[in-house]
Amino acid sequence: MAAGCVIGVDLGGTKLLAGTVDSGLQVHHRARRLVESQKPAAVVELLVGAVEEARESTLDEVLGVGLGIPALVDPATGVVLDSNHLLLRDVPIRDVMAERLGLPVVVDNDANAAMLAEWRIGAARGTSDAIMLTLGTGIGGGLIVGGRLVHGRRGAAAELGHMIVVADGPPCPGRCPNHGCLESLVSGHAIGREGALVAAADPQGALGRALAAGREITGALVTELAHDGDAAARAIMTEMGGRLGLGMVTLVNVFNPEVIVVGGGAIAAGELLLAPARAVLEERALPVSREGVRVVSAHFGAEAGMLGAACMALDAAGVVVG
């Protein structure tokens, strides 16, 4: 990394991943943390600690820091406008972090960061119109329209997880006031919720036995059992994929993209989610809009957000990526 490096940070609702990244987007060190408090001071300390660990991992000059956070961020000021999963409203996160670190800092929504990485050098490379869905604690979204990343008037565009799919559906987690959002139906949280219902209804099944053994029924556990071939877990993933497909139908009809990239931690389910989503999309989207649309896993998997944040920092430092 003779030309220097940057630190990309992907902050989620439950986990943080930071990486020391060079201009070729090679990751030379990873720092991981659990998000154990939503309070602003605790989140800032978490970010600072992870960045300092990453900075200490290299002898090369650190040119800047990119932060992807699960929040609506004013692109002009770096102030958090709101966050569904963290208590960061009105926090000037860019300036606070720059002061604490003594480094240039650039901030954007975490799904926007993931979209940027996948568009620049990942699964959406070479496209002019693309959509990113990040499935984790919630669902984030990123949009490339006409070859540009869409932020909207105040940085609040592409909250795709909050499109309403079922008017009287389950309450959306976090601080969202709605019911029946895509996020409430398909995210890692939703997969775990459906798994817990199955576990309670069928104590002799794999999920029921896991519950009896004291294991928490999470989206990751349901996914693991589905990959192992458990019929009930696979049925949950098929249902989740169908719901995801309903959301994609709306997105395809509205934006007419070339590709939909699905990332985030929940994409560990892979084709268990994507195959039923494609089937619903093919059946229910407008024929012209759905023609040729690819639905693919993120090339960078759960690291897309961290690498996109690194891209942001490299751009700000004037370093050509690639």
pLDDT, tens digit, 9 for 90 and up, residues 242-271: 999 999 999 999 999 999 999 988 788 899
CATH topology for the 125-298 domain = Nucleotidyltransferase; domain 5 (3.30.420)
How far apart are the C-alpha atoms of 2 and 94, rounded to whole Å?
A: 27
CATH topology for the 5-115+303-316 domain = Nucleotidyltransferase; domain 5 (3.30.420)
- Weakest-pLDDT range from 15-19, 37-41, 198-202: 37-41
At residue 301, the 3 state secondary structure works out as helix
What pLDDT, on the 0 to 100 scale, is given for residue 194? 95
- Token pair belonging to 108: 């954007």
Is-contact 10 25, C-beta < 8 A? no
| Sheet (strand 130-135) strand order | 148-149, 139-145, 130-135, 259-263, 294-297
Residues with Cβ < 8 Å from 258, sequence gap 6 or more? 124, 127, 128, 129, 130, 292, 293, 294
117 class by beta-carbon count within 10 Å (0-12 exposed, 13-18 middle, 19+ buried): buried
In terms of Cα–Cα distance, which of 75, 113, 130 is closest to 255? 130
Ranges for all domains in the chain classified under CATH 3.30.420.40:
5-115+303-316, 125-298
**Proportion of the chain above pLDDT 90, given as a percent:** 85
At residue 145, the 3 state secondary structure works out as strand
Residues 145-164: pLDDT tens digits?
999 999 998 889 999 999 99
